[in-house]
Structure 1
């Protein structure tokens, strides 16, 4: 029996589970290791903060997907790997050996310069932690009548979260104050200037204050580079990503930032039995932006290549869109579209985004059959 180990329940691995359910190789044992039995869909996070979705609307249950695919599910973290020994390590010291490995574990939020905030700091990732802490912050705001939130990072995630927080607090009858720290790079770096202008205008109308300065965390809040001290009740970090630390000892070829170097087939350039997709990898020389859009689109190609590798068949390349479509939620049921030089905004953009997001969730919904237990959960 060949052993295929999937690490992480990210967007791309959903497509792998779907493909395995449709055409499972008869001579292969497949194991999925993931820290949660649910996959949180990041595209619906701003809508959940704003109150448009309940938590189950934004989550995909991995248990029935694994069951349908005949995949053993281990709910745990991977804390290390050795690509020379073909194994990954679990926190209790167990090792899972593989013939083929696929990694879709995402990235972590870089918060080293915000650690002085202590309990006031709330990174966007891991999403499980964010989903548990934000309701606590909102409940506290309702009891006190106010909340000062600073969102650090003005990429798509930071902008959407800042606007969602502003809307959620206002909707809860709380006196909101939301500041967005954009640093000197501006807002929505990489998007067309017209899109950036639309977001700046909307943020000002919504009451979100923009700061184009670098900042560091202090026990009281945020210190801007001009010396201004900004007290805060909560600081949400939507800052730059970093690769999982354990990859440094994996013996895989990594780029200067610590991400797995993969070829256009999303196979490791140093170990041909290892694949990676999503935020955890980098394609040398392409400058591919880490985005859920690319991870979702890479999923079917990754699934095809894993099955092809198991059958000793040719692999196919993933060609990312040069100008992917972004639909940016603005708090209320209103959104801004960004596609290259084209942009638009309105309630109809929100309806478009809502339709796409709900369709993605529905695609992976499986009916849980009573009496069917988690396959292999907790076993090594």
Structure 2
């Protein structure tokens, strides 16, 4: 089947409302030849219209979060979890700290606004900003859980957001005696509302016992209160910043035309000086028809933005965005009531809350119920077994795409070492004897688990080095073997630059270098490395574990299940964001701690923890007991396993251990058969060494645990899970 090459890079900076809606539209009709990238520091994006309802207790946090990880997968986009801090419209690149610049042909900016309140003395230590939502929601939940008596709250800013949140917090604390809430505003409160709505909200603040201090501002935040410019101090146990909005500082260094720090755009939503740069939402200033900063405009801009981005990539005609003159403002009143502000009409009550709730729920339903994209139908005539071999889920990437252990063992049976090559009993690396020097050599490759070439390169390199580290050797050199999807020459260069930057970063940190490699084109990205390492006086193998040894694991398990869930758009965004740092965590420092004391060691990869431990047991002629509760699991993995998610190779891993393992039928135990890409080290050490080794590993930044013990073979299954 012919695959079409990608020829243009479209980059979306920020996961704001407009970009989220563009991703939904893109998923339903992707543009052939375009490679789509989303850059955002967070794996989820909040729908801010529901924030007061969350604080008041009417919604759960998940109700107002868009899962950018699932949304990017739905749209076929790569998601870069990082905060853009620069854009060069001449070089056509975006700066993201900690990685190579991201090149673009067309770029759109939807990064919202920020606050100058963190510049206030003591704010960072003793206060929290209303945005981003995550920090505020977590601090508020902790504050509620503390059960503080007579809580004192201060809100900085009496715009609509500050007043809504003050009313929401008052509603949540209404049953707590002695509570006080103070709202501080340097100018007049609620400046952008109609007269009736403003008067009603000010009266409601007074009715609820919320104090409004206008014409003054905070000079400093202290642990127990807010110091005002006139010297007064307002006691506070919880200080919230909901004011001081300003443009993102890095926009000033882009060279783009700005108005008061915001990107100046024309009616087609393009920069007035750079037609390949688009901007929407609060970070943009509409030169022809200026409007206040409000989410409704970002939502209405989305269809025009989607059309014009495609036009910029295809050379088609643009459409102009024409904003409405006025819009309906639905303001939460703490309890399940709302107030409407449009045309000066005096409307408030439960009916408006019902309307607002329905509008918000309908908007979020688009992101919470991402439809499954239909698979290509099979030919009418096909061979027996094709349906069963294809399965009902997409094939996993990483180690989830490996061949099953039984099939591999049958293929390798009968092979023997010859000449200068020494093969351990089932070890994954060979040892080359050259006089008195012994060199370890191993090879591995991974089918991409992420559309981000830089991130995938780091994962693949850490993964390939695992066999060298597991044998106690020091990495020396690597040959890189790449399969790139079909790309134009420009995109090939960009992709190769990102891949080689990722590979080089990991190898350099490990003390190794790139010796060469090979590239070819294929259906999808695959990154492989052949690595060498210099062995010391002692080479660790999978054999050598002794009864009484403790089993030490240096990374959690469950990555294969999470990666499978991500492919199915079911993985929690925050769980995926937490997973990536583990998959790019090198194990060289862990190997240096374990190698001097380990009796046997391996890395946990495609055959799962149970499969690789069983290799150690067979090589050493011993058995083992695992404590399931002691095995660290990646966040979200057990829940996904309980929901029936499993990696492609997991059934084969389980089948290979029939008769050799006794384990409970639980979701957690299912993760024992889960393939791990760039997994941790598993070492057998003397019981006396376990505690000191664990302490060293934890101090070195590893999530290490003692997960079981080695025992002598008996009439029980070789591997028992308790």
What TM-score does the superposition give when structure 2 sets the normalisation length? Answer: 0.50
Q: Deviations over 1:43-88 (max 9, x none)?
A: 1100000000011001111223222221111112112221111000
Q: Residues 117 and 100 of structure 1: is their aligned pair in 2 closer, same or farther, counting only changes over 3 Å?
A: closer
2:296 matches 1:271 = no
CA distance in 1, matches of 2:315, 2:370: 34
2:451 matches 1:376 = yes
Alignment-derived partner of residue 204 in structure 1? 206
CA distance in 2, matches of 1:8, 1:44: 19
CA distance in 1, matches of 2:369, 2:333: 31
What root-mean-square deviation, in Å, do the aligned CA atoms of Structure 1 and Structure 2 show?
2.0
Q: CA deviation at 1:364?
A: 1.9
Per the alignment, in what secondary structure is the counterpart of residue 334 of structure 1?
strand
Q: Residues 111 and 356 of structure 1: is their aligned pair in 2 closer, same or farther, counting only changes over 3 Å?
A: same
Q: Residues 117 and 345 of structure 1: is their aligned pair in 2 closer, same or farther, counting only changes over 3 Å?
A: same
Alignment-derived partner of residue 355 in structure 2? 352
Q: CA deviation at 1:118?
A: 4.5
CA distance in 2, matches of 1:360, 1:314: 29
Match of 2:132 among 121, 126, 130: 126
Alignment-derived partner of residue 135 in structure 1? 141
Q: Residues 368 and 149 of structure 1: is their aligned pair in 2 closer, same or farther, counting only changes over 3 Å?
A: farther
Moved over 6 A (4+): 368-374
Alignment-derived partner of residue 74 in structure 1? 80
Alignment-derived partner of residue 609 in structure 2? none
Number of positions where the alignment pairs a residue of Structure 1 with one of Structure 2? 375
**Are the equivalent residues in 2 in contact too, given 1:122–1:237 (CA < 8 A)?**
yes
Alignment-derived partner of residue 175 in structure 1? 178
The 10-residue stretch of structure 1 (363-372 or 93-102) with the greater mean CA deviation from structure 2: 363-372
**Are the equivalent residues in 2 in contact too, given 1:114–1:121 (CA < 8 A)?**
no
Q: CA deviation at 1:228?
A: 3.0
2:330 matches 1:327 = yes
CA distance in 2, matches of 1:39, 1:67: 15
Alignment-derived partner of residue 221 in structure 1? 225
Pairs within 5 Å for 1:9-28: 9-28=15-34
Alignment-derived partner of residue 65 in structure 1? 71
Per the alignment, in what secondary structure is the counterpart of residue 201 of structure 1?
helix
Per the alignment, in what secondary structure is the counterpart of residue 120 of structure 2?
helix
Q: Residues 367 and 25 of structure 1: is their aligned pair in 2 closer, same or farther, counting only changes over 3 Å?
A: closer
CA distance in 2, matches of 1:367, 1:266: 27
Q: CA deviation at 1:368?
A: 8.9
Q: CA deviation at 1:98?
A: 0.3
Per the alignment, in what secondary structure is the counterpart of residue 30 of structure 1?
strand
Alignment-derived partner of residue 303 in structure 1? 306
Q: Residues 363 and 93 of structure 1: is their aligned pair in 2 closer, same or farther, counting only changes over 3 Å?
A: closer
- Which structure has more relative contact order (CA 8 Å, sep 6+)? It is 1
The 10-residue stretch of structure 1 (22-31 or 369-378) with the greater mean CA deviation from structure 2: 369-378
Per the alignment, in what secondary structure is the counterpart of residue 345 of structure 1?
strand
**Are the equivalent residues in 1 in contact too, given 2:337–2:350 (CA < 8 A)?**
yes
Structure 1 unaligned regions, length at least 5: none
Larger Rg: 2
CA distance in 2, matches of 1:93, 1:71: 18
